[in-house]
Structure 1
Amino acid sequence: MQAYKIKMRLHRNLCFATIDGLTLIFNEGKYADKVIQQLLKRDKRWGARDRAFVAETTYEIVRWKRLYSEIAEVKEPYSREDLWRVFAVWATLRGIKLPDWKYFENTPSRKIKGRFDELSKIRKFKESIPDWLDEAGEKELGKAVWTKEIEALNQQADVILRVNTLKTTKEKLQAELFDLEIDTEFIKDHPSALKLKERANVFTTEAFKNGHFEVQDASSQLVAEFLNVEPGMRVVDACAGAGGKALHLASLMENKGQIIAMDIYDHKLKELKRRAKRDGAHNIEPRHIDSTKVIKKLYDKADRVLIDAPCSGLGILRRNPDAKWKLQPEFIENIKKTQQEILQQYSRMVKPGGQMVYATCSILPSENKNQVDTFLASEMGEVFTFVKDKSILAHKSGFDGFYMALLEKKK
C-alpha cells in the first residue's frame, strides 16, 4: 500500500453510501460483494464514475481495515464517528483534500502519515491481516515466500474472461469487445483467457447476455484443462457450485458426452442451470447431493472426476478481501477434515483407468499437497497413482493462488 496524491473532490452522498456499506460489513458481518451490489442501486442518478468510487473505496477500506483502524486508533464494533475517522485515514493516505465537513474536523494529517510509515515496517499491519493468519502463512510457506504472497494477494485482481468456445472464438470475442471500447489481451498458456486492459462492466454487454464468455480468473481456468477431458466422456464435477468449471468442461468436451454437476447446495445448481442455458452447454446434468446414495450410484462409473474442494479461499483474497476478517483458524482445521472425507468418498466414482483432479483456491500446503499425500497413503488411495500437480502463487503468476493435482486410478 502506498500513499499518493489524487485530485478528487469528495461528494457527500457517495461518502455516506460508503460509510453505510462499511457499517454493514464490519459491524453486521455482511458479505462485501452483496453490500456493494445493494449500495450501487441506491441512486439512479449515479454515473459509472460515482458507482466505481463507492465500490472501489469500500473494497479498499475493507482490504486495509486493520492498518487504517490502527492509524485511526479505533476498534470494533465501530461507531459511525469511528468509520469517518477510518475514511479520513484512507483519504489522507491517497492525498485527497478533505472538505470542511464536521466529520473531518481535527483530522491529524501529519500524524496519519507518520503512523503509516511506522506501521508499514510490521508485516501484519502493512498487509492488514489478523495475527493468526500472518503466523499460519509464515509457518506453511516460509517467511520470504509468505511476505511476497500476502503482498500480491492485497492487489486488486484483474478482470479475466473465459471465452465460451461453444459459441465463439477468442479472436471474434476480442473484436466484439473492441467495438465497445473494451480493450483485451491474450494471456500466454491460458488458451481461453482474455484479460481486460482496464476494468469495465462486462455484464451489460450483448456478448455476455448471449453467452459468449464467463468471468473467471486465469488460474481457475487451468483446472478444467488439467482434467484431460475428451468429447464423449462421462465426467463428474463433484463440488460444482454455480458451475464455472463445469461450463468450461462442457466447452472442452464440445457438448459431447455427459457432465454430472453435483453439489450439496441446490440453489447453486439452479444458478448453474441458468448459466448453462445462456452458454448453450447442453451436456450438463445437475444432481443435488441430498444423501450418500447420489454418490454411491456412481461408484466406478466416471472417466473423470473433478473435486474442486471447499477450502480456506486464501488464494482468492484479492477478490474477497473481507474473507480475511471472516476466516477463523478453527474453520481451516475443520475444512481440512472435510477435504479428506470428500477425497475418500468421491474418489470412489472414478472408474479403473480413469483420472481425478483435486483442486483448491488455497495457497496452504496443508490443504493441498499434504491432503493428496494423506489420501495416497490411505487404504482408499492405494488404488491411485500420482500423475502431476501444480501450485500457483499470486506473486509469481499475477493471478489467483490455486492448487491442482492429477491422480489416476489403477486398472
Structure 2
Amino acid sequence: MTTNKAPEVNLRNIVLNMLLENNKGRLSHLIVKDTLDENKNLDKNQRAFITRLFQGTIERTIEEDYIINLFSKTKVNKMKPVIRYILRMSVYQLKYMDSVPESAVCNEAVKLAKKRKFSNLSGFVNGVVRNIARNMDSIKYPEKENERLEIEYSMPLWIVDMWIERFGIETTKNILKSVYNKKTTTIRVNTSKTTVDEVVVRLENEGAKVKRSTLYSNALEISDYNQIADFYDFNKGNIVVQNLSSMFVGMAANPKEGYYIIDVCAAPGGKSLHIADLIHNKGKIRARDLTEYKVGLINENIKRTGFNCIFAECKDATKLDKNVIGKADIVIADLPCSGLGVIGNKVDIKYNTSIEQINELAKLQKEILSVVSKYVKPGGTLIYSTCTVTKEENEDNVKWIEENLPFKLQSLNKKLPEQIIDNKHDYVQILPGKYGMDGFFISAFRRIDK
C-alpha cells in the first residue's frame, strides 16, 4: 500500500526569498503576512520558524555583519546579496536559535548556495560559517559603551546616541532589551458585541494561551496559536488585533454616544473600531486615509466587525475639507511618524529612518494639524498621537499646537490607567517595552475659541 506524502518544504529557502524581497525595499511585516498566506499548508512550528528566522535576521543585521566581517576576507557590503543573506541567516541561527544544530546550519547554508547557482562559492560559505561556529563564544564587542550597544542590539548608532542623550544610559538599555522581548499578540474585545469572559473561554477552548491585561480590562494577550483568522471570535468581529498603547487613544478621546468623530489617518482602522465600540455603535465616525488601498483595509475591518457607524473614505489630510469645518466633537490625529516606538514589531524601521526624515515628518505633522484642527467644534477635542519617541514629533508638536492653534492641552488623568500617567506632564509618552507595550505618545486638546 502506498501513501501520498507531502513534498518536504525548504523553510530556509522560503526565508531567503523573503530576505531578498526585503532587500528590494518591501516592508518586512507585509512580507511575513503574504508569505504565511501563501503557505497555509505549513504547521504552527514551521510558520514560527519562518517568521523568527526572517525577522531575527533583519533585526540582528548590524551584529551579524560585525561577526561576518571578523571572519571573512570579503566584507559583507562587497558580497552578492544571496551570499550575504545566507551568511546572515546562518549567524542568526548559530547565535540565537539553540535548537538548530551547528552542523545543520553549515550544511543548509552550503545547500542554499548550490541551489541558488553559487556552487563556486559554496566552499567560501562553508568555511566562513564553520569558522564562526567554532569561535562564536570568543567574539569580542567594542569597548565603548554606545558602540557596544549598537552591535549588541543591532541598533543604528545615531538612535542609540539620541536615546542616551534624551533618556540616559539605563533607560536606553531597557528600551533596547525590550525590542527583543518575546512577542505576543494583543487583542481588544468589542464588549458591545460580547464579553471578555466569553472570549477568553472560547480562545482557550480553541487552543490559545490567554493572558488578561492589568491595564485595560478589554485587552488580552494571546500566544501559541497558528493564525488569528482561525478563531471564531475574529471571524465574528468580536476581537480586533490592536496594541495596548494604541487602545489608550480611544480612551483619551473619551467619546460619548451620538458624537461626530473624524479619524484623519485611520488605516487599518483599529482606533475607529475601538471608538465605535465605546459609543456602542451610536454616533458617526469618518475614518479617513490617503489611498484607496488603505481605505480598503479599513472597510475590511468594518465589514468583519459589523459596526455601521463608521464610514471609510479616501481623503488627503493635508487638504482642507470645507464640508466638516467646526462639526466634529472629536478629531483623532494619529499621524504618520518615524515609528521608532514600534521597532519591536516592524523590524526594518530602524534602518529606514534618519534625523532628516524625522524633521520632515515633524513638518508634515504640523501641516496636517493646521488643517484637521479646523474640523473640531468649539469645546471639542483634538487627539494628537504618534507611535514614536522623538522630541521633534511629540513634545515639540504639543508646544507648537498650543502656540499656534486655538487649543489648550488637557490632562489625561482619570482617562488612562494611573500606572502610565506622567505626573509632570499632561501628555503621555510610553516608552517601548513599558508593561510590554509599543512606544506611543498621546496628547489631548480642547478647542477654546471664544
Q: What is the TM-score with the length of structure 1 in the denominator? A: 0.90
CA 284–39 in structure 1, closer or farther in 2 if over 3 Å, else same: closer
Aligned pairs for 1:95-174 within 5 A? 95=98, 96-97=100-101, 98-99=103-104, 101=107, 102=110, 105-106=126-127, 107-108=130-131, 109-115=133-139, 122-174=148-200
Is the partner of 1:242 in helix, strand or coil?
Answer: coil
Deviation for aligned residue 1:155: 2.6
Does structure 2 conserve the Cα–Cα contact (< 8 Å) formed by 1:31 and 1:322?
yes
1:15 pairs with 9, 12, 15, which one? 12
Aligned partner of 1:406 in structure 2 is 444
Aligned partner of 1:259 in structure 2 is 285
Q: How many residues align?
A: 398
Is the partner of 2:12 in helix, strand or coil?
Answer: helix
Aligned partner of 1:325 in structure 2 is 351
Does structure 2 conserve the Cα–Cα contact (< 8 Å) formed by 1:166 and 1:280?
no
2:88 pairs with 86, 89, 95, which one? 86
Q: Deviations over 1:167-223 (max 9, x none)?
A: 211111111111112121211221310111545422222221111111111111111
CA 305–226 in structure 1, closer or farther in 2 if over 3 Å, else same: same
Does structure 2 conserve the Cα–Cα contact (< 8 Å) formed by 1:119 and 1:125?
no
Deviation for aligned residue 1:143: 3.0
Distance in 2, matches of 1:119 and 1:181, equals 47
Is the partner of 1:316 in helix, strand or coil?
Answer: coil
Deviation for aligned residue 1:153: 2.3
Distance in 2, matches of 1:43 and 1:293, equals 41
CA 120–183 in structure 1, closer or farther in 2 if over 3 Å, else same: farther
Is the partner of 1:372 in helix, strand or coil?
Answer: helix
Distance in 2, matches of 1:209 and 1:373, equals 43
2:429 pairs with 391, 400, 403, which one? 391
Deviation for aligned residue 1:352: 0.9
Is the partner of 1:83 in helix, strand or coil?
Answer: helix
Q: Deviations over 1:277-302 (max 9, x none)?
A: 21111101223225866532222111
Is the partner of 1:366 in helix, strand or coil?
Answer: coil
Unpaired segments ≥5 residues, structure 2:
1-7, 70-74, 111-121, 412-425
CA 56–292 in structure 1, closer or farther in 2 if over 3 Å, else same: closer
Distance in 2, matches of 1:132 and 1:267, equals 33
State yes or no: 1:302 paired with 2:304: no
Aligned partner of 2:204 in structure 1 is 178
CA 133–249 in structure 1, closer or farther in 2 if over 3 Å, else same: same
CA 235–77 in structure 1, closer or farther in 2 if over 3 Å, else same: farther
Distance in 1, matches of 2:322 and 2:59, equals 43
CA 372–78 in structure 1, closer or farther in 2 if over 3 Å, else same: farther
Q: What is the TM-score with the length of structure 2 in the denominator? A: 0.82
Aligned partner of 2:419 in structure 1 is none
**Percent of paired sites with the same residue:** 25
State yes or no: 1:51 paired with 2:12: no
Distance in 2, matches of 1:281 and 1:409, equals 28
| Larger CA deviation: 102-111 vs 320-329 | 102-111
Aligned partner of 1:5 in structure 2 is none
- RMSD, matched Cα: 2.3
Distance in 2, matches of 1:235 and 1:42, equals 37
Q: Which structure ranks higher in relative contact order (CA pairs < 8 Å, sequence separation ≥ 6)? A: 1
Aligned partner of 1:8 in structure 2 is none
Unpaired segments ≥5 residues, structure 1:
1-10
Distance in 2, matches of 1:17 and 1:291, equals 39
Runs of 4+ in 1 over 6 A off after TM superposition: none
